[in-house]
Amino acid sequence: MQSRDAATLQEEIISALRKEGDLRKLPDDWLAQSVVFSKADAGALEQAVHAVYAKQVYSLEKDLTLTERDQHVLSELRRALQISPEDADEIRTKVGVNLFRRIFRESISDGCYTADENELLNRTRKYFMLRKSETNQAVKDLALSHYAFMLAEAAKDQQISDAEMANLSAFSKQFGLSKGKLRSLSVPDAESILRSALNDIKSKGVVDTNDYDHIRRLASILNADNLLKPCLQDLELFEQIFRLRSGELPKIKMETLVLQPGEHLHYFTPVSYESVSGKRKTSIAGDLYIGSMRIRFVSSRRSHEIRYANLLEVQANIPKTTKPQLQMSVSSGSGTGSYRLKRKDPALTIELVEAIRFLVRKARGFEKAPGRDSSYVPTEIRSEVWYRDNGKCVMCSAADYLEFDHIIPRSKGGATSVNNLQLLCRRCNSKKSDRI
């Protein structure tokens, strides 16, 4: 901000130059010869001289062009005002920086920063030979505000696409927004946006390297580093679930457990088996073994096994404050009740449920290899329909003797697709017959 003396001197210099008219006729020491200016404060006079020259540079070069005539005008003005080449270059740089800032402010004023506006800024920088550090410093506050606006706009639908993240990253990089500055911004819905992204990945039924990169970039954009670890853990869990649903179960060895020929052990975990008989509740500590043919609970007090064909339902119960449980219901024999894990591991609980559900499907004949029968339903379609219908008849909720039914029968042109298949028990399927 110029002092009053400098501002007054600036107006007097401009007025004097207008009276003189032709700058070429002014002597080299015109400024020093003037009685008015010779008595002025040296510091104030220098500010005024520089301001006059800057005003003329802006007037002639604001459109990023300079004619030969205009070059002569600036040259004569430098001579008359006794401005050194070094000072002239410095003044011109300041004019370029201020012009860059004005163009940037106007570009983002409508909330939309276009490619044409970006090109104009690049031309301005190149024309005035400005360093990127100079222009970034000039617009850093405006750039940060606009970045915050872009982020809020991208996040308003609870999702941020790869294209939107790329635009945000490119903008922050172009204008040198530091990580420290970006971390000062907060996104209230960061957790919801990350959860939405995870659900989108989950809906694909497969997790790949690009999904991990997407979540990392998204957490960085949202300044949600504190949420990144649990999100990556969820991705790892999804990846394991999808493997289990396709039949890729782990195999472990345990010398102390006797297995039947061809039987494999997939999981082992210590649990407390909790059951209710009448008004009596019992809790027995033991070990749970998930094998390829059966589930076994082994304890020094009491043991039992569950055949997958007899397992009606298995669910995960994951309280916030206590250890998670597997809840199982069997059609006959022992085993109905809750199996509380000894450690608080929700991911393992979900993994166990998915593995058991796959083994139930396999035991009920839903994992047969394709043969010559044209009614064969591919594995990936059977799996999706099974999980969509929750492993139950869509008409009566029965969980046994289930069959895949074509909603529009094949005899009437119905396709073997997810949308045209449903789970029905044998009884309901017989009632439906070939009706739509």
Give pLDDT tens digits for 248-277.
899 998 888 888 888 899 999 999 999 988
Give pLDDT tens digits for 301-329.
889 999 998 999 999 999 888 899 999 99
pLDDT of residue 3: 45
pLDDT of residue 375: 62
Give pLDDT tens digits for 74-120.
999 998 888 999 999 999 999 999 999 999 999 999 888 899 999 99
At position 400, the amino acid (one-letter code) is D
* pTM score, whole prediction: 0.64
- Residue 358 pLDDT > 80: yes
Give pLDDT tens digits for 127-154.
999 999 999 999 999 999 999 999 999 8
Question: What rounded mean pLDDT belongs to the chain?
Answer: 87
- Mean pLDDT over 403-424 rounds to 82
Residue/partner pairs of 233-236 with CB below 8 Å, 24 or more apart? 233/347, 234/198, 235/198, 235/201, 235/207, 235/211, 236/347
pLDDT of residue 371: 44
